[in-house]
Structure 1
Amino acid sequence: MKPRYLFNFITIIIVYSALTFYIGWNSWVWLHSIFGLEEKWIYGFIVCLISFSYIIGHFIKKIPLFKIVGSFWFGLMQYAILILPLSNLIALVLIFTGLSTPSVINWVGGVVFIFLVILFIFGVFNAYSPVVRNFSLVIPKQIGELTQLRIAMASDMHFGRLSGIRHVRRLVREINALNPDIILLPGDIIDDDPVPFTQKKMGNVMKELSAPFGVYGVLGNHEYYGGGIPKFLQEMERIGITILMDQVIKINDSLYLAGRKDKTDRNRLPIDALLTDIDPSLPLIMMDHQPSEITQAQENRVDILLSGHTHRGQMAPNHLITKRIFENDWGYLQKGQLHSIVSSGYGFWGPPLRIGSRSEIIQIQVTFLNSEVTSEIAGR
């Protein structure tokens, strides 16, 4: 390992451990005060084990409990870091006003605990209760007899340990109920490792997705992280989902569908190289997991760009970060002829929590009009 990487790794571990100690110490003070807890070394070992469970689970894959516990810990850690400094300040102020220290610790700690429980219940509900968001687009291109197209889109399912078989069934039921003409899945279909997906036979459920023009997807960054792309592609082929990897296909001899490799892939083609042989008079829909090249898509005559990846931060206030990173981090953006739609995702990464975002399926009603009709409507 290069010295720079080693230094960065050690720095991250030190900071992470310090934050874990801060959370653990606050919890210990409250538990000791209210329950008389005494076994601090056993308590410290348990906190340490929980805080590093996700990393342990990465190496001990046969015991999924580690990764599940570690996922919940990440959610707890984020909100504990945000809430505990304020609670500490309030506790100090109350103690300096003359109130009993044990009483202050008990009441302030109890309020923090109740708040976190409510927050987690709300977040889990948002994660596992998807909504359908609707968009209506007009593309100024007439394509024979096909005047409308209904698209169902779902990204970032992260199917695996926590986004499991019930969530898959919910997805299939909700999407099929929309009666789409085509189903598009722009990346992160699985959560890293394809093994839980195949072991739980989630593919057999996804196989029930049905649309006249087919079901298509692209790779997301997590398909790359898992290192099991060949196995994933084999499973997708088995269940009838076509994964486009820097490919352009023609749908119903009426429009183009392009699918890009994820930005993680150093060998992915630039947009202009991918679209060299298309007929610009036909509509062009593109799936690109990360919405990081909206300008390039607009400059290369893409009509609809569908992405995910951002999760809209997944847990507020992380959305403030994604808004600064991406031109369109969630929802709809029009740029010239380009219509960009970014989904917050159907699943989740890490903790099964969504706060300030919601698990969602996207329905897009596209109307195709020739240029003369579009000009007439614009002039009214």
Structure 2
Amino acid sequence: MKVFLEAFLLQYLLTLYIAYRGGQALPARGAWRKMFYALMAAIFGLYVVGFAGNRVLPDALMSGIMSVTGFWFFMAIYVMFALVLVEIVRLIDRRWVHGYARLTQNGRARVRLILFFLIGSVSAGLMIKGMHIVRFPEVKHMTVQLDRPAIDGRQSMRVALLTDIHISETVTAPYIRYVVERTLAERPDVVLVGGDVIDYHGRYARRNGITEMMRRLQDETPMGAYYVLGNHEYRADEVEKREWFRSIGHLLIDEVATPGGVFYLVGRDDSTNVFRAPLHELMPQVDTTKASILLDHQPHVLDSVAMTGVDLALYGHTHNGQIWPFTLLTRLAFENPWGYQRKGHTQFFVSSGVGAAGPAIRVFTRSEIVILDIQFAKE
């Protein structure tokens, strides 16, 4: 609820300011300004309806509301960036250049109108491109050489890593079907799912056959599908979500498994749970002469993970910022916000995720299905 309230307040402030500045750019006479104000009011009205009725409105209606308001929410952020840039240019011009002041009244009106449509069209274009990025995730292939042998002595294994699907009003059944089919087309031996599978309400994972789609990852791979929780799994409907995970695969909460008898898989609870078991308490269940993989959600304290002797640690959570400029902020918040890293014996990989939180939009980041071709050491 806190997240929704913060988003509601930000949406209110952004929409109010953009309506004020946009109205200044449009002619006072005629219908353009009135139509623009009406559009802003309608979008914000939809946001109020969605905020107030998200638990009672039909799911199909909520999907439409969230698609429209989410598109505008991210678009408004970029419009705001553009307005700040325009304001900086205007101050520089007023202080040193005086070009705008020399224009006629009609010339100034023309400049404002051009900026209005330029900012609006570029921002909307970024959103449309961002929707396409999420809708068609890339398949990223990596080869990882482990320093320890497999439990059963095999030489190789293919792992599909999926994180941050965020099933929701905007990440729906057609998208889940596409992701599942793209993943299975890579013929993985095992599927590892690194948390934040459900964005908020658990009911969206049970609609339109999504459960059956996700169960295919378990049923159509030799070693099955293994899941850990993310921070979004703790935001609502915790019990319902855990039951759902267990209906589609293996849920690991501070547990160690041996998928197919091939390697040790350490599945941690999300760090949202401050009482989760320390990693050093789980590692005694692992034969450290054999290959081991850690599956966790948030890539924190990597140094302490490296000290445990895990061969490979897999994470998600960051989305690599999802939209610029939050990509820059994730670099400040996380030692490794995205990609491969090695610390001593332990190799790390942080996925940018396959879905998206909130609006199904990414800007200057990518959605990815990660395929890891694991090479084991020889006995």
Fold conserved (TM > 0.5)? yes
The CA deviation string for residues 254-312 of structure 1, in whole angstroms up to 9 with x for no partner, is 32001111111122111111222221111110111111132221111111111111000
Which one-letter code corresponds to 2:141 in the other structure?
N
In structure 2, the residue matched to 1:120 is 127
Q: 2:139 is paired with a residue of what secondary structure?
A: strand
1:37 corresponds to: 33
| Residue of structure 2 equivalent to 1:135 | 142
Contact 1:303 1:337 in 2 (8 A): yes
For residue 97 of structure 1, the aligned residue among 96, 102, 108 is 102
Distance 1:298 1:105, change over 3 A: same
- Relative to structure 1, is the Cα distance of residues 114 and 323 closer, same or farther in structure 2, using a 3 angstrom cutoff? same
Change (3 A) 1:56 1:70: farther
Unaligned runs of 5+ in 2: 94-98
1:192-231 equivalences under 5 Å are 192-209=200-217, 210-226=220-236, 228-231=237-240
Aligned-pair CA distance for 1:57: 4.9
2:130 partner letter:
G
TM-score by length of 2: 0.87
| Aligned-partner SS, 1:216 | strand
Distance 1:257 1:314 in 2: 28
Taking the aligned partners of 2:123 and 2:312, their CA distance within structure 1 comes to 40
Any conservation in 2 of the 1:20–1:51 contact (CA below 8 Å)?
no
The offset of 1:367, in angstroms, is: 0.7
Give the Cα–Cα distance (whole angstroms) in 1 for the partners of residues 358 and 25 of structure 2.
Answer: 27
- 1:56 pairs with 2:32: no
Give, in angstroms, the shift of residue 253 of structure 1.
2.9
RMSD: 2.6
Q: 1:332, CA displacement in angstroms? A: 0.5
Aligned to 1:315: 323
Q: Contact 1:156–1:345 (CA<8 Å) still a contact in 2?
A: yes
Determine the C-alpha separation between the residues in 2 that align with 1:249 and 1:349: 29
Q: CA separation in 2, counterparts of 1:95 and 1:47?
A: 33
Matched with 2:82 is: 83
Residues of 2 paired with 1:60 and 1:95: CA distance?
A: 52
In structure 2, distance between residues paired with 1:24 and 1:147: 61
Name the residue aligned to 1:74: 73
CA deviations 1:69-112 (Å, max 9, x no partner) are 33223202221221112234556855313142221111111111
Structure 1 residue ranges without an equivalent (≥5): 372-380
SS of residue matched to 1:302: coil
Q: 1:150 to 1:68 in 2, by over 3 A?
A: same
Amino acid in the other structure paired with 1:242: H
Q: Is the 8 A contact 2:23 2:37 kept in 1?
A: no
Q: Please identify, of 361-370 and 87-96, the stretch whose mean Cα deviation from structure 2 is larger.
A: 87-96
Within 2, Cα distance between the matches of 1:69 and 1:161?
11
1:21 aligns with 2:16: yes
Q: Secondary structure at the match of 1:276?
A: helix
Which of 234, 238, 242 is equivalent to 2:243? 234
Residue among 319, 324, 329 paired with 2:337: 329
Structure 2 residue 293 is the aligned partner of structure 1 residue 285: yes
Give the Cα separation in 1 of the matches to 2:261 and 2:10.
56
How far did residue 170 of structure 1 move? 0.9
Give percent identity, aligned residues only. Answer: 27
Q: Alpha carbons of 1:145 and 1:18: their partners in 2 closer, same or farther (altered >3 Å)? A: closer
Distance across 1 between alignment mates of 2:207 and 2:6: 37
Give the structure-1-normalised TM-score.
0.87
Call closer, same or farther: CA 1:61–1:336 in 2, change over 3 Å.
farther
Contact 1:182-1:213 at 8 Å conserved across structures: yes
Distance 1:35 1:163, change over 3 A: same
Which whole-Å CA distance do the structure 2 matches of 1:162 and 1:14 have between them?
A: 21
